[in-house]
């Protein structure tokens, strides 16, 4: 069956099976901008988004602390704990 699929269809099915394992009837949780973390590209740090204004230089919005830690490990070229 897989051999009969064209390349694009195969890629779509692979993505669905690997990265979207929600199951039938499951829904994604909505995220708000204030629920994430702000990644500082210059300092290579992150902090919870609060009421303070964002810096006037490029930053990264990170949806969770785990993602923020992985981002920090990547930009600082350190192992992810």
pLDDT greater than 50 at residue 65: yes
Determine the Cα–Cα distance for residues 17 and 26; give it in Å rounded to an integer: 14
Report CA torsion sign: 37, 38, 41, 42. Answer: negative
Determine the Cα–Cα distance for residues 63 and 34; give it in Å rounded to an integer: 9
Contact between 44 and 74 (Cβ < 8 Å): no
Q: What is the pTM of this model?
A: 0.61
Mean pLDDT, residues 21-34 taken together: 72
Q: What is the pLDDT of residue 53?
A: 81
Contact between 71 and 59 (Cβ < 8 Å): no
Q: What is the pLDDT of residue 41?
A: 92
């Amino acid at each position: 069956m897989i051999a009969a699929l064209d390349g694009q269809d195969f890629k779509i099915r692979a993505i669905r099976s690997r990265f979207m394992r929600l199951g039938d009837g499951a829904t994604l949780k909505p995220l708000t901008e204030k629920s994430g973390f702000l990644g500082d590209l210059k300092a290579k740090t992150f902090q919870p988004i609060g009421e303070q204004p964002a810096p006037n230089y490029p930053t990264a919005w990170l949806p969770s602390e785990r993602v923020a830690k992985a981002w920090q490990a990547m930009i600082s070229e350190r192992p992810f704990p």
